[in-house]
Structure 1
Amino acid sequence: MLKIGCHLSSAKGFYAMGKDALSIGANTFQFFTRNPRGSKAKEIDPNDAAALRDLAKQEGISHILAHAPYTLNACSADPKVREFAHMVMQDDMQRMEYLPGSYYNFHPGSHTGQGEEVGIALIAEVLNAILTPEQTTTVLLETMAGKGTEVGCTFSQLRQIIDQVSLEDKMGVCLDTCHVYDAGYDLVNDLDGVLTQFDKEIGLSRLKAIHLNDSMNPFRSHKDRHQKIGEGSLGLSAMERIINHPVLRNLPFYLETPNELPGYAKEIALLRSLYHEKQE
Structure 2
Amino acid sequence: MGKTALSIGADTFQFFTRNPRGGKAKAVKPEDAAALNALMQEHNFAPILAHAPYTMNPCAADEKLLEFAQMVMEGDLAMLEYVPGNMYNFHPGSHVKQGAEVGIEKIAALLNSVLHKDLHTTVLLETMAGKGTEVGRSFEELAAILSKVQLNEKMGVCLDTCHIFDGGYDIVNDLDGVLAQFDKIISLERLKAVHLNDSLNICGSHKDRHACIGAGNIGLEALTAVINHPALRTLPFYLETPNELPGYAAEIKLLRERFKE
Which band: TM-score by shorter chain?
Answer: over 0.9
Q: Deviations over 1:180-209 (max 9, x none)?
A: 000000000000000000000000000000
Task: Output the amino acid matched with 1:230.
Answer: G
Specify which of 241, 244, 256 is matched with residue 272 of structure 1: 256
How far apart, CA to CA, are the structure 2 residues paired with 1:101 and 1:157? Answer: 27
What's the counterpart of residue 6 of structure 2?
22
What's the counterpart of residue 107 of structure 1?
91
SS of the residue 2:33 aligns to? helix
Task: Output the amino acid matched with 2:164.
Answer: V
What's the counterpart of residue 110 of structure 2?
126
SS of the residue 1:76 aligns to? coil
How far apart, CA to CA, are the structure 2 residues paired with 1:205 and 1:131? Answer: 20
Moved over 6 A (4+): none
What's the counterpart of residue 60 of structure 1?
44
The Cα of 1:250 is off from its aligned counterpart by 0.5
Which residues of structure 1 form unaligned runs of 5+?
1-16
Specify which of 26, 50, 53 is matched with residue 69 of structure 1: 53
**Residue correspondence of structure 1 range 169-248 to structure 2 within 5 A:** 169-248=153-232
Specify which of 144, 150, 160 is matched with residue 160 of structure 1: 144
How far apart, CA to CA, are the structure 1 residues paired with 2:213 and 2:199? Answer: 9
SS of the residue 1:121 aligns to? helix
The Cα of 1:62 is off from its aligned counterpart by 2.3
What's the counterpart of residue 6 of structure 1?
none
The Cα of 1:28 is off from its aligned counterpart by 0.6
Specify which of 29, 34, 41 is matched with residue 50 of structure 1: 34
Q: Which has the higher contact order (CA 8 A, sep 6+)?
A: 1
What's the counterpart of residue 5 of structure 1?
none
Q: Deviations over 1:140-168 (max 9, x none)?
A: 00000000000001000000000000001
RMSD between aligned residues: 0.4
Give percent identity, aligned residues only: 66
Asked whether 1:254 is paired with 2:238, we answer yes
The Cα of 1:69 is off from its aligned counterpart by 0.2
SS of the residue 1:40 aligns to? coil
Which residues of structure 2 form unaligned runs of 5+?
none
Task: Output the amino acid matched with 2:229.
Answer: H
Q: Aligned residue pairs: how many?
A: 261
Task: Output the amino acid matched with 1:159.
Answer: A
SS of the residue 1:26 aligns to? coil
How far apart, CA to CA, are the structure 2 residues paired with 1:165 and 1:66? Answer: 20
